[in-house]
């Protein structure tokens, strides 16, 4: 609508307008309950219906089988950097990390406190522009898991297919924070998927974990209660007070994604949006540049630089005047980054592309 901007932030990020409006109408008095979701007991039947529907809709979206538990947790994806090793291995166990950006690197560093992680590949020396070929990887034959970050939010590098762990009894673990529910994913390829909600599916404060049930129940002895998947699985994410309002918002987003026709349809829209933006960059004769290898460019986070880097501040300022905000790249890499999650309308990307063309015409 008129008074909203196109928000290209990496997270917290734009949410679907219809979801916000629905939450607004339900905010003061949720479906005749006489109170808002923020005020409800998490153990009452109203909230239980909310969390159960959110889980059921997510299971439908990603086709998650009963072999997996779905947990709604707190502490962001960052907490999972510790929870994953604490729950999936013992202190002397080897685990593998394939590092395609700074989030994967952070996950690896945290794991060092709880087990023996090995970096099997690190793209840092090339500024994280690609995913390696899986054939040449020297994976540990005894690793309990292989960890990847499915979409590196800062560098815009996204796995398009997935490696197998080196250990046939090991599992693949993925941080899907920034491409969660952006396309269909075969969950059965993974032992565990985790995602902070605040990019594609809701507000910050909720972290979703999808974990194969047979992996639950072997946490290290030092594992805090709040990080133990068994505690949360046994209690249907209601061991303690969960982030109720955030879970409610995620539920509204899941409902909306189902109404759009599910993740196959959502993926088509995301491909179209990303396609026109990458095309505009590639066809700019070097005025704009995206350093990421074409085959692994993210559908969600599009980083680009200006050939004349002195124009970057002007670009940002003029974009903001046109109601396109949060286009500044992450402080660690500079340049620009357009995050175009599910909820970014095609009109937002079209407006950005047309702005970019005008800007180039003025400044080339």
Q: Any idea which residues carry the catalytic annotation?
A: 103, 175, 199
Q: Quick check: 110 binds ligand PMP (CB under 6 A)? A: no
Q: Answer yes or no whether residue 166 interacts with ligand PMP by CB under 6 A.
A: no
Q: Is 123 in the site for ligand PMP (CB under 6 A)?
A: no
* Closest to 140 measured CA to CA, from 198, 187, 180, 89: 89
| Residue 102 vs 167, nearer CB to ligand PMP | 102
User: Which of 19, 61, 77, 327 touches ligand PMP by CB under 6 A?
Assistant: 77
Asked if 11 is part of the footprint of ligand PMP (rule: CB under 6 A), the reply reads yes
- The answer to whether the beta carbons of residues 69 and 211 sit under 8 Å apart is yes
* Position 196 contacts ligand PMP (CB under 6 A): yes
Determine if 153 is a binding residue for ligand PMP (CB under 6 A).
Answer: yes
Using CB under 6 A as the binding rule, whether residue 237 contacts ligand PMP is answered as no
Using CB under 6 A as the binding rule, whether residue 87 contacts ligand PMP is answered as no
Cβ proximity of 231 and 74 under 8 Å? no
- By beta-carbon proximity to ligand PMP, the closer residue of 77 and 249 is 77
d(CA 117, CA 337): 31
Which residues, numbered 245-284, are part of the site for ligand PMP (CB under 6 A)? Answer: none
Q: Considering beta carbons, is residue 199 or 269 the nearer one to ligand PMP?
A: 199
User: Please, how many CA atoms are within 13 Å of residue 330, restricted to the half-sphere of its CB?
Assistant: 16
> Site for ligand PMP (CB under 6 A): which residue of 30, 103, 114, 128?
103
Binding flag, residue 175, ligand PMP (CB under 6 A): yes
* Residue 240 contacts residue 265 (beta carbons within 8 Å): no
Contact 31, 350 (CB under 8 A): no
Q: Is 283 exposed, middle or buried (0-12, 13-18, 19+ CB in 10 A)?
A: exposed
Cβ at position 95, least distance to ligand PMP in Å: 17
How many other CB atoms sit within 10 Å of the CB of residue 142? 13
Q: State how far the alpha carbon of 176 is from the alpha carbons of 40, 104, 148, 361, in Å.
A: 30, 11, 9, 37
For ligand PMP, the nearest residue by Cβ is 76
Residue numbers at the binding site for ligand PMP (CB under 6 A): 11, 76-78, 103, 149, 153, 175, 177-178, 196
């Amino acid at each position: 609508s008129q008074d909203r901007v196109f928000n290209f932030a990496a997270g917290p990020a734009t949410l679907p307008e219809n979801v916000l409006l629905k939450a607004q109408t339900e905010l003061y008095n949720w479906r005749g309950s006489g109170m808002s979701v923020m005020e409800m007991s998490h153990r009452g039947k109203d909230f239980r219906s909310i969390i159960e529907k959110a889980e059921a809709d997510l299971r439908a979206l990603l086709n998650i089988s009963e072999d997996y538990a779905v947990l709604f947790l707190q502490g962001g994806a960052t907490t999972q950097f510790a929870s994953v090793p604490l729950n999936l291995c013992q202190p002397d166990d080897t685990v593998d990390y394939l590092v395609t950006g700074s989030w994967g690197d952070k996950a690896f560093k945290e794991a060092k406190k709880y087990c023996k992680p090995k970096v099997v590949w690190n793209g840092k020396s090339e500024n994280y522009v690609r995913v390696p070929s899986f054939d040449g990887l020297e994976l540990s034959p005894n690793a309990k898991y292989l960890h990847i970050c499915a979409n590196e939010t800062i560098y815009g590098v996204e796995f398009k297919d997935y490696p197998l762990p080196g250990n046939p009894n090991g599992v693949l673990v993925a941080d899907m924070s920034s491409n969660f529910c952006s396309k269909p994913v075969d969950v059965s390829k993974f032992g565990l998927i985790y995602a902070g909600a605040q990019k594609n599916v809701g507000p910050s404060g909720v972290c979703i974990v999808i974990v194969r049930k047979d992996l639950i129940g072997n946490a290290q002895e030092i594992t805090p209660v709040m990080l133990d998947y068994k505690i949360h699985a046994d209690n249907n994410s209601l061991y303690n007070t969960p982030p109720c309002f955030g879970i409610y918002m995620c539920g509204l987003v899941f409902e909306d994604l189902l109404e759009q026709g599910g993740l196959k349809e959502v993926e088509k829209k995301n491909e179209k949006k990303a396609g026109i933006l990458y095309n505009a960059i590639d066809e700019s004769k070097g005025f704009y540049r995206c350093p990421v290898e074409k085959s692994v460019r993210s559908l969600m986070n599009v980083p680009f630089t200006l050939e004349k880097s002195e124009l970057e501040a002007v670009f940002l300022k003029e974009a903001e005047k046109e109601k396109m905000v949060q286009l500044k790249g992450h402080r660690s890499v500079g340049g620009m980054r357009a995050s175009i999650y599910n909820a970014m309308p095609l009109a937002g990307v079209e407006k950005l592309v047309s702005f970019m063309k005008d800007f180039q015409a003025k400044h080339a």
